[in-house]
A and B are shown apart, each in its own frame.
Chain A
Amino acid sequence: MANNAEDIENNMDQQQTNTAPEPPQEASVARARSRGGSGAGGGGGGGGDAGGNSSGPEQNGQPPAARPPLVVETEEDEDEEQTLKYGAKHVIMLFVPVTLCMVVVVATIKSVSFYTQKDGQRLIYTPFPEDTDTVAERALNSILNATIMITVIIVMTLVLVLLYKYRCYKVIQGWLFLSSLLLLFFFSYIYLKEVFKTYNVAMDYFTLAIIIWNFGVVGMMCIHWKGPLRLQQAYLIMISALMALVFIKYLPEWTAWLILAVISVYDLLAVLCPKGPLRILVETAQERNEPIFPALIYSSTMVWLVNMADTDGPKRNSTEAASPQQETQQAPIASPTPSSPSQDDGGFTSNWISNQEHQLGPIQSTEETRREIQQMPSARPPPEDDDEERGVKLGLGDFIFYSMLVGKASATASGDWNTTLACFVAILIVSCLFWCHVRVFESPQKPISSQYATPLYVNRLIV
């Protein structure tokens, strides 16, 4: 692997300016990986602090002004390099919140016994009990449970896609609003109750009401409206953790593992197949140049599109991450910015699939437009901290998915920490590979979503 990286790096150093998509991408990915390795040390500590690591874009954003045509070509290469160079770093930036979520879930599982107690209660989606006499019965019941659950998820996804296709936005927004309301108030109420019980702390209704009210309202504001980015991220992590805890508690063992397995497969299918509902959703959103749903994606930084310059092709006009305010701030290039619904705040306006091609889209335009800005005589200084602009998005379903895996592992395993840690490491490796893999093989024309737990969003909506 290291040898390959070096060889490919040598090739790149010979400055092949061919614009064939595959080799530069692979090289860049390899380079990205090696850089990612060095970035891991910095990135791990810095978390979402994207500004620190590389000053690449500033350097690359200022090409030699003397030769425009050549500049365009090398710019494209640099574009690809840039976007992919950021791939690994951003993947690492996503490690932190995912890890945090898992830590919260595992800590709760270990300390608050409520979430591992089997009350005998089940969700209505999993009506078949698993405490049966024979293994065969148990297997059958769990398969039936999983089937029911998956069917519900598929139906919900289809409903969502249909609603979106027929522009029933109000319904969807109301649905999302209610679901986050439920999570932020009801589930956190239960969580607090159990935590207080565990630590044997007396609490009165008045203080509790104040706490829950504050937590909930500020959460709703941060997620659905405007709020500080860190707080938004923190809230998303918390609600993902809450959701994962609910699933861990109420899904019986075998059902849970079966569901996790089937969901991964289903998600890949739903997203990659041309007829898959999620793909339809994404494509519809792209056609309409609209952001999809707020409150279902975690964004590591703000994605600020400088402009959707109309010099770029229509492909790159995925303007979803642009919000009107941002554009008014930075608009030297006259390109009509498509209107996005005003309630979409910057971190969430983009589509709800996780990072890749939607990042490629905006990133290429930012590169372009930034270059143009810099070439134009303009009193406004070029944006300094563009590193922070290219946030990475990960769907909340992924958070819930991973945390559920790790939580289940820690709850049920007898060799406690070993299993949990092994699970955790495995998840990070797999997801990292998955994200990097998708980066290599996609091209800007064909949006491939790497979201592989989007049905869990729907799940979230169901609950």
Chain B
Amino acid sequence: MNLERLPNEEKLSLCRKYYLGGFAFLPFLWLVNIVWFFREAFVKPDYTEQLQIKTYVKRSALGLLLWIVVLTTWITIFQHYRAEWGEVGDYLSFTIPLGTP
């Protein structure tokens, strides 16, 4: 899919769909949105829909940042306290590393 060849309305619509889709626990989608539309939103000379695309990209970035914070916090907590939590820790674990921590 080459963004260059799409008319602006379709670019906007695509950006919007990616943005809305990210709300379904899909930070990766937001990341893709940001990377893909970055040039469109910030580098290209102005066109009508660009302002809206910019907002979507910015909001996606915000959402992505939020997710990163949440995930990092959770992963840190989990990795650190997993052994101490005993049963709950094991229950939450998908793979359990071998050997003593």
Q: B32: which of A193, A196, A227, A329 is its contact (CB, 8 Å)? A: A227
Given A204-B78, A214-B26, A347-B1, residue A325 in contact with residue B93 (CB < 8 A): no
Minimum C-beta distance from B11 to chain A (A): 11
Minimum C-beta distance from B101 to chain A (A): 9
Query: In the complex, are the beta carbons of B75 and A201 less than 8 A apart?
Result: no
B21: chain A residues within 8 A (beta carbon): 217, 221
A378: chain B residues within 8 A (beta carbon): none
| Chain A, Cβ-Cβ closest to B27 | A214
A204: chain B residues within 8 A (beta carbon): 78, 82, 92-94
Q: Is A66 an interface residue (CB 8 A)?
A: no
Minimum C-beta distance from A84 to chain B (A): 24
| Chain A, Cβ-Cβ closest to B78 | A204
Q: Is B65 an interface residue (CB 8 A)?
A: no
Q: A203: which of B10, B14, B94 is its contact (CB, 8 Å)? A: B94
| Complex: A206 Cα to B93 Cα, angstroms | 9
Mask, B1-19, CB within 8 Å of A = 1, is: 1101111001000100000
Interface centre among B32, B35, B71, B94 (most CB of A within 10 A): B94
Query: In the complex, are the beta carbons of B99 and A200 less than 8 A apart?
Result: yes
Mask, A56-83, CB within 8 Å of B = 1, is: 0000000000000000000000000000
Q: Which of A5-13, A129-137, A228-236, A350-358 contacts B (4 or more CB under 8 A)?
A: A228-236
Q: Is A148 an interface residue (CB 8 A)?
A: no
A218: chain B residues within 8 A (beta carbon): 26, 28-29, 32
Q: Is A202 an interface residue (CB 8 A)?
A: yes
Minimum C-beta distance from B10 to chain A (A): 6
Given A229-B1, A229-B2, residue A202 in contact with residue B96 (CB < 8 A): yes
Mask, A185-217, CB within 8 Å of B = 1, is: 000000001001100111111111010011101
| Complex: A226 Cα to B10 Cα, angstroms | 12
Query: In the complex, are the beta carbons of B92 and A193 less than 8 A apart?
Result: no
Q: B1: which of A201, A202, A217, A346 is its contact (CB, 8 Å)? A: A346
B interface, size bucket:
20 to 34
Minimum C-beta distance from A382 to chain B (A): 14
Query: In the complex, are the beta carbons of A200 and B5 less than 8 A apart?
Result: no
Minimum C-beta distance from B83 to chain A (A): 9
Q: A329: which of B5, B74, B78 is its contact (CB, 8 Å)? A: B5
Mask, A427-457, CB within 8 Å of B = 1, is: 0000000000000000000000000000000
Query: In the complex, are the beta carbons of A329 and B71 less than 8 A apart?
Result: no
Interface centre among B24, B27, B95, B99 (most CB of A within 10 A): B95
Q: Is A330 an interface residue (CB 8 A)?
A: yes
| Complex: A201 Cα to B96 Cα, angstroms | 7
Q: Is B47 an interface residue (CB 8 A)?
A: no
Q: A207: which of B75, B96, B97 is its contact (CB, 8 Å)? A: B75
Main secondary structure of the interface of A (DSSP, over half): helix
B48: chain A residues within 8 A (beta carbon): none
B94: chain A residues within 8 A (beta carbon): 193, 196, 203-205, 208
B92: chain A residues within 8 A (beta carbon): 204-206
A330: chain B residues within 8 A (beta carbon): 5
Q: Is A328 an interface residue (CB 8 A)?
A: yes
Residues from 31 to 66 in B contacting A, C-beta threshold 8 Å: 32, 35-36
| Complex: A213 Cα to B29 Cα, angstroms | 11
Given A215-B28, A325-B6, residue A228 in contact with residue B97 (CB < 8 A): no
Query: In the complex, are the beta carbons of B26 and A207 less than 8 A apart?
Result: no
Q: Is A419 an interface residue (CB 8 A)?
A: no
Given A200-B97, A200-B99, A205-B92, residue A302 in contact with residue B26 (CB < 8 A): no
| Complex: A229 Cα to B1 Cα, angstroms | 5
Mask, B67-101, CB within 8 Å of A = 1, is: 00001001100110010000000001111111100
Q: Is A95 an interface residue (CB 8 A)?
A: no
Given A232-B1, A325-B10, residue A210 in contact with residue B71 (CB < 8 A): yes
Minimum C-beta distance from A415 to chain B (A): 32
Q: Is A128 an interface residue (CB 8 A)?
A: no
B14: chain A residues within 8 A (beta carbon): 226
Residues from 3 to 53 in A contacting B, C-beta threshold 8 Å: none
Minimum C-beta distance from B80 to chain A (A): 11
Minimum C-beta distance from B77 to chain A (A): 10
| Complex: A207 Cα to B21 Cα, angstroms | 19
Q: Is A345 an interface residue (CB 8 A)?
A: yes
Interface centre among B2, B6, B28, B78 (most CB of A within 10 A): B2
| Complex: A385 Cα to B25 Cα, angstroms | 37
Given A202-B79, A218-B29, A227-B32, residue A302 in contact with residue B2 (CB < 8 A): yes
Minimum C-beta distance from A300 to chain B (A): 13
Smallest CB-CB A-B distances: 9 pairs: A214-B28, A200-B97, A196-B95, A203-B94, A204-B92, A302-B2, A208-B94, A228-B36, A226-B1
Of the A-B pairs whose beta carbons lie under 8 Å apart in the complex, a sample of 7, sorted by A's number, is A205-B93, A206-B74, A207-B75, A213-B26, A214-B26, A227-B32, A329-B7
